Amino acid sequence: MGITAPAARPVNPRFSSGPCAKIPQFSLDMLADAPLGRSHRAAVGKAKLAEAIDLTRAVLGVPADYRIGIVPASDTGAVEMALWSLLGARKVEMLAWESFGEGWVTDVVKQLKLDAVVRKAPYGRIVDFAQVDFANDVVFTWNGTTSGVRVPDGDAIPADRAGLTICDATSAAFAMELPFDKLDVVTFSWQKVLGGEGAHGILILSPRAVERLENYTPAWPLPKIFRMTKGGKLIEGIFKGETINTPSMLCVEDYLVALKWAQSIGGLPGLIARCEANAGAVRDFIKGRDWIADLAEDPATASTTSVCLKFTDPRIADGAAFAKAVARRLEKEGVALDAGAYRDAPPGLRIWCGATVEASDVAALMPWIEHAFQAEIAAQAVDA
């Protein structure tokens, strides 16, 4: 007897963790006001970039004395600018619990060659912040995009810390409360929670980070694209829309459209509520099912954007092959595109639950995951 497919299907099957689904009802007509063919240094270009910075501050609640800059090379570029420009002034602690955090460890230890304290946790957990010495500079991801876990809050970070906190918040910004008073550098790309186009990063600096930039010169040479000071002073223009290199004004317009949509649904509280509803739809479904589980071990640190799942059925012979087969089946059915686990993560699925995704689509997807699981178990039995 065949396995009956679910009746309902997601309207939008895009569950990629980046670039992510566009805002609801998105159309290219929304970008008609983009100043294409104009210089980003013309008045119209600078006005658009300044508006993007101002709306970012408004939606995220960034303090007035923090600088916000639009920088090249997505979140990676923003993080690298911070690491190369700020580190080396005092001891460093690197915290990693997924692949991108591991990447920052590699850059600091092997490229900058700093004798850093490295604290790691396996996929599904985060490090114990109680062991971290915030007299040192501390680098960490807020939300593990590839591991499905996040920092629950900033309570463990002291307000009177001596070191800087450098936070890669790329899949957390616009989805979670970020305690800016506890964070000196915050980076993200708008291709995640707001579904913007790729290649541009956001770099947010606290007054303490600016003070470091103006009073410390790294021992290594800095490429032009990383330089944020001139003559010992911050290049303020970077944080007013005078970008280091040429941005795509089409992508900037797309970001503006997404920011205005965010405001229309209630700003940050509305965005957070959508993410929590999406993640809740996944977790409500897997509750009580013994063949699938959350990769995140502690609900307090479970992500509400990059929800990672693992298959736990003992009948599965090859976990990696099985998970890939399920993901292929979901894509072939047209119900979930790009839903496989990250290549370095444990085998499973990764369901993006950011704010641009509809909870109804997540709810419609979950029975299809069960259907694909049952079909692959049956196929495995036949092959055996």
CATH code, 342 = 3.90.1150.10
Cα distances from 343 to residues 303, 320, 348, in angstroms, run 19, 10, 10
Annotate 128-196 with DSSP letters as a single string.
Answer: -GGG--TTSEEEEESEETTTTEE---STTS-TT-SS-EEEE-TTTTTTS---GGG-SEEEEETTSTT--
Low-confidence ranges of the chain (pLDDT < 70): 1-2, 384
Q: Any idea of the CA torsion for 319, 320, 321, 325, to the nearest 10 degrees?
A: 100
pLDDT, residue 381, reads: 87
Q: Find, among 270, 267, 292, 274, the residue nearest to 360 by Cα.
A: 274
Instruction: Give the pair of three-digit tokens for residue 256.
Output: 């503006």
pLDDT, residue 343, reads: 92
188 with 53, same domain? yes
Residue that has been written with the tokens 């010169």 in this structure: 217
Show the domain range for 91: 28-263
58 with 116, same domain? yes
Distance of alpha carbon 145 from alpha carbon 306, whole angstroms: 5
104 with 202, same domain? yes
Tally of structural domains, the chain: 2
| End position of a domain, from candidates 241, 263, 285 | 263
- Is the separation of the CB atoms in 302 and 284 below 8 Å? no
35 with 112, same domain? yes
pLDDT, residue 3, reads: 83
Q: Please report whether residue 13 resides in a domain.
A: no
Q: Please report whether residue 7 resides in a domain.
A: no
Predicted TM-score of the model (pTM): 0.97
244 with 281, same domain? no
pLDDT, residue 308, reads: 98
| End position of a domain, from candidates 263, 295, 320 | 263
pLDDT, residue 183, reads: 98
Q: Residue 310 belongs to what H/E stretch?
A: strand 306-311
Quickly count: other Cβ atoms within 10 Å of residue 133's Cβ.
Answer: 12
Instruction: Give the pair of three-digit tokens for residue 9.
Output: 């299907």
Model confidence over 66-101: pLDDT tens digits?
A: 999 999 999 999 999 999 999 999 999 999 999 999
- Is the separation of the CB atoms in 57 and 44 below 8 Å? no
Instruction: Give the pair of three-digit tokens for residue 238.
Output: 């970077």
314 with 233, same domain? no
Model confidence over 317-341: pLDDT tens digits?
A: 999 999 999 999 999 999 999 999 9
β-partners of residue 189 are: 201
| End position of a domain, from candidates 231, 248, 263 | 263
Cα distances from 80 to residues 100, 111, 197, 287, 353, in angstroms, run 12, 11, 20, 39, 27
